[in-house]
A and B are shown apart, each in its own frame.
Chain A
Amino acid sequence: MHTSTKKWLFTKISSLILLPLMVWFIINFVSIYDENYSEVALFFSKQPSKIIFSIFIIFAFFFSALTISEIFEDYIQDERTKNVANKLLNIFAITIPLLTILGIFNLTV
């Protein structure tokens, strides 16, 4: 399979998985964002929200890395700059969810 076809398939599969996760997250975010520390910490540390939130951010960053690289493809002409931008994007898309998941799995209320 061609690399571009694989990229397109991964984008579409991750967007399909993200649709219900985005709805789940935004409703839960509205219910906790203005609550006190214990309520917010409870949301991020209890099951199943801890697991669903982890899956949500993995797919969100995976999807964003694929789609933002398309934006780079359209707007950055210089190949070297584009490669650096894509590498930084990939590092960002791996580091942020990894740190967050490690953080919330170490969170105790």
Chain B
Amino acid sequence: MQYKNNPLSPHLQIYKWQISSLLSIAHRIVGVINIIAITAICIWSLLLLLGNESYHPINFFLNTIFGKFIAVSLCWTFSFHTLNELRHLIWDLGYGFDLKVSKITGILALIGSFVFTILFYLIGKNIF
């Protein structure tokens, strides 16, 4: 059928990139990454049932640079999703639709996600 050849939303090939569209797409991608990560964390918690001996390889992996990179990356994906979701909830209340305000809150969410990543990691590691 003809309609099957129509471009799918959000028509990336004709899109002019801007902060709002970039954050919207990033919000979806990060949301999917987060649920994959939460699923992995659920499996991680279930592996604890196998006992102390079986946990050694997991503990070894999580203490490598790659393991720490995953932890820091999750801090960012959680921070970004939390801040951008807050931005969506404010929109739902009817505020922040103005183009200028929308751009400012988008930039704030992006910069804030990096600030929160550092904060969450430092608080988690009891450095504060």
Contacts and interface: CB of A to CB of B under 8 A. Distances in A.
Interface string B23-54: 00000100110110011011001101101100
Most chain B Cβ neighbours within 10 Å, of A26, A35, A74, A100: A26
Interface residues of B, number: 45
Interface string B62-73: 110001100100
Interface residues of A, number: 42
A31 B63 CA distance: 13
A84 interface: no
A96 B46 CA distance: 10
A44 B49 CA distance: 11
B92 A12 contact: yes
Interface stretch (B13-21, B77-85, B95-103): B77-85
B8 to A, nearest CB: 6
Contacts of A19: 82, 85-86
B114 interface: no
Interface string A29-69: 11101111110110010000000010001001100100110
Given A34-B71, A67-B31, A100 B82 contact: no
B126 A34 contact: no
B74 interface: yes
A37 B48 contact: yes
B52 A37 contact: yes
A83 interface: no
A22 interface: yes
Contact of B78 (A12, A15, A22): A22
B52 to A, nearest CB: 4
B5 to A, nearest CB: 10
B48 A40 contact: yes
B54 to A, nearest CB: 9
Interface of A: 12, 15-16, 18-19, 22-23, 25-31, 33-38, 40-41, 44, 53, 57, 60-61, 64, 67-68, 71, 74-75, 77, 96-97, 99-100, 103-104, 106-107
